């Protein structure tokens, strides 16, 4: 039998482990910080080569040695752990193309190859600024955050997104 002090210590540890996840629930600012931290652990972002993105071709976006185009494990893990939609975009010309997403089209397919709508979020990230607020993503309302992804020279080369469906 565990002593009361040991049992209290163990319960405190369990609560501390669960609390961060609960704090992120329906909080796009905290959840995008989690997404960006996971990407940063992979290494510095860079654009290299051309890759398939749905029906389009788009620049390859890498974090360290890892290519994110058509790689869904990180965005799917964000959905699994926090219930959020998540997307990684790469800059192509004056557009941002979805290369990794758990956002589905009305047909039920991943929205890979679609572009970021030209609205407030687009304007902010194009200027290298973050945006948080209510948005329409492929026809559905979300409370969301977008952060620019910058290369080693400070140029915007992509965007991360996290959103929670509005009820």
Q: Is the pLDDT of residue 101 over 50?
A: yes
Q: Is residue 8 part of a domain?
A: no
Q: Is residue 153 part of a domain?
A: yes
pLDDT exceeding 70 applies to what percent of the chain? 85
Q: Is residue 108 part of a domain?
A: yes
pLDDT at 143: 96
Range of the domain at 147: 24-165
Average pLDDT in the 24-49 region? 94
Average pLDDT in the 27-51 region? 97
Burial of 109 (0-12, 13-18, 19+ CB in 10 A): exposed
Whole-number Cα distances in Å, 101 to 15, 27, 78, 90, 127: 31, 18, 10, 12, 23
Length of the chain: 167
> Please, which residues bridge with residue 97 across strands?
90, 115
Average pLDDT in the 138-159 region? 94
Q: Give me the numbers of helices (H) and strands (E) for the chain, helices first please.
A: 4, 8
Q: Is residue 104 part of a domain?
A: yes
**Separation between Cα atoms, residue 135 and residue 99, nearest integer Å:** 19
pLDDT at 167: 78
Q: Is residue 16 part of a domain?
A: no
Q: Is residue 98 part of a domain?
A: yes
Q: Is residue 11 part of a domain?
A: no
Q: Is residue 31 part of a domain?
A: yes
Q: Which domain CATH number covers 132?
A: 3.30.450.20
Q: What are phi and psi of 40, to 5 degrees?
A: -60, -35
Which residue did the predictor score with more confidence, 107 or 74? Answer: 74
How many structural domains compose the chain? 1
Extended strands (E) in 107-139: 131-137
pLDDT at 29: 97
């Amino acid at each position: 039998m565990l002593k009361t002090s040991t049992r209290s210590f163990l319960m405190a540890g369990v609560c501390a482990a669960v609390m961060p996840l609960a704090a992120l629930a329906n909080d796009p600012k905290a959840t995008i910080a989690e997404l960006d931290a996971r990407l940063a652990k992979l290494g510095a972002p860079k654009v290299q080569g051309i890759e398939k993105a749905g029906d389009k071709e788009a620049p390859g976006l890498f974090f360290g040695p890892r290519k994110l185009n058509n790689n869904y494990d990180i965005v799917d893990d964000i959905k699994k752990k926090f219930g959020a939609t998540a997307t990684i975009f790469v800059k192509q010309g004056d557009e941002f193309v979805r290369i990794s997403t758990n956002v589905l089209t009305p047909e039920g397919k991943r929205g890979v190859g679609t572009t970021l709508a030209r609205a407030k979020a687009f304007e902010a990230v194009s200027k290298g600024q973050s945006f948080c607020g209510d948005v329409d993503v492929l026809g559905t309302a979300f409370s969301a955050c977008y952060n620019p992804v910058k290369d080693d020279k400070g140029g915007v080369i992509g965007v991360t997104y996290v959103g929670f469906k509005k009820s």
